[in-house]
Structure formats: structure tokens, C-alpha cells
Amino acid sequence: MIAYLDFGAFDSLYRRDGCTAADVASLRKSVYGRNLALALSIHHLEEIVIARRVPPQALSAQIRFTLSFASLRYLLKPSADLLIDEIRSYAASGAAGSPFLHGPAADAISSGIGELIESDGEEIAEEFVAALELARARRADLAAIVERARVASAAAADAERSVAAMRALAGAAGALAGCDQRGIEGLLGLRIVRMAAGIAAAPPEPPLIDHAIAAAARAEIVVSADPRMREMVTRLALDGLASSSLPEFIDSIRGA
């Protein structure tokens, strides 16, 4: 099973808020036993590092804790890029794109985390911070794309709202012509795009947008402390994507 814990759920796990050390050990056992994988987004890291709400040693400890559950090799791109790249890939080939971060940004993240952990949080590389700040800035881009789809959907007749949202998303990705040629309705087969269209129909707060898109990219279950996130995932009924609170999720893992 691949699960996506949004930042609030990951943070609760770290702080033992609503769970115990035994619960954490149970989850870690499932991960190490390869019965469970936790998907990690670059947004998890930027919410920990850019905010810097804690002393250096605590920052390092939280990063180490997070990476004890999830691998940087499968770090998800910023959610705006997940959405745009998925649409462009469909327009070009009809296939889904890779959701994982590669290239210089991935290298900066990997080396930056190594330096941060080695220095116990005292040293944070400029390239590492720049990559995380760029990911944070992409939140505004995603919100603007979803708003564009929301406006287009609201202006369309009821029967045309889904297509109007898809066309707006494709236009925002600069791939409308390619998607029209391949068939705009085919975008409905892509969970990331369906999630974005669903968010456009009833947009939640921006932080939830990022994690909802990231979850749709890879996970089978979204774990969130926010009932709005859980309700939205349930309402959209995307194939193969369920939702759960952290306590419910831990209970399900323990009982598996």
C-alpha cells in the first residue's frame, strides 16, 4: 500500500499528537517490512525547513524522522509541476508523466539534506533553500491554475462544467491544442487532473490543494487530520484513492 500523509498528519506523527510511540513503531515496521510505503512531496520538506519554527537540532530531528518513513529517491515534484507535466505528457503521448523530482533540484535537495543532518541543523545550503523556496512559490501558481478552472467551470452549463474545467487546465499548461487533438475527455483518465478539476468545483484552502494533488499522483490512501481534505477525497471518489484520519490509518495498519 502507498499512503500519503499530508503535512498535518506527518507533523502529528512526529509530535505524537493523537498517537503513541508504539503507533509510530508499528508504522515504521510496516514500512521496513515493505507492506507500506509513504509518499513524500517536496512540500513536506519546504513546510519543515522554510518555516523554521524550531531550533536547528529539532529541525534536523524532524527531517531525520520524516526520512525514516519515506525515501528521497521517490520525492514528488511541486504540485503545480505534477499537474502541468501530466497534462503536457497526455497531449504529447497520451501517457502519464513521471511524478518524481529529477535533475538539479533533486540533487540540491539530496545534498542539502545531507549537510543539514550532518551539521545537526546548523548548516543549510543556499541551493537547498532555493529549491524549497521555489517549490513554495509554486503553490501560488497552482492556486491560480485551479482558480482559472473554477471560473471556467462556473461559467459553463451544468453538463459542460467538467469539460470546461479540463480545457482551462489544459490551457494553463499550454497544451490545449494537443489535448483537443487527442481528446479533451481523456484527461478524465488522469487522477491528478481529475483531482484538480474536483478542487476547482469546491476549492479548499491552498495548503490542501498542494497535498491533494500530490496524493493523487501516487497514493492509494490520503491520511489527513483535516476533515475537509478527507471529505473532498471521499466526494470525488477517484479510482483507487481512499481517505483516512491518522488514528484510523494506524489502526488499519496494526490490524493488517
pLDDT at residue 204 above 60?
no
Can you say whether residue 38 is alpha, beta or left, with left for phi > 0 and alpha for psi between -120 and 50 degrees? beta
pLDDT of residue 143: 92
In contact, 197 and 232? CB cutoff 8 Å: no
Q: What is the pLDDT of residues 106-125, one digit of tens each?
A: 999 999 999 999 999 898 99
pLDDT number for residue 52: 72
Instruction: Look at the block and give the residue holding cell 501516487.
Output: 218
What average pLDDT does the chain have? 91
Give the pLDDT band (50/70/90) at residue 255.
low
Integer distance in angstroms from the first to the last C-alpha of the chain? 11
What pTM does this model have?
A: 0.92
Question: What are the Cα distances from residue 245, in Å, to 10, 18, 197?
Answer: 11, 10, 24
Partnered with residue 38 across adjacent β-strands are 3
**What does the pLDDT read at residue 161?**
87
Does the pLDDT at position 54 exceed 70?
yes
Question: Is 203's pLDDT higher than 80?
Answer: no
> Residue type at 35?
N
Q: Tell me the three state secondary structure of residue 96.
A: coil
Distance, CA of 99 to CA of 238 (rounded, Å) = 18
Which segment of 44-48, 55-59, 180-184, 202-206 scores lowest on mean pLDDT? 202-206
Res 202: pLDDT: 73
Q: Is the pLDDT of residue 50 over 70?
A: yes
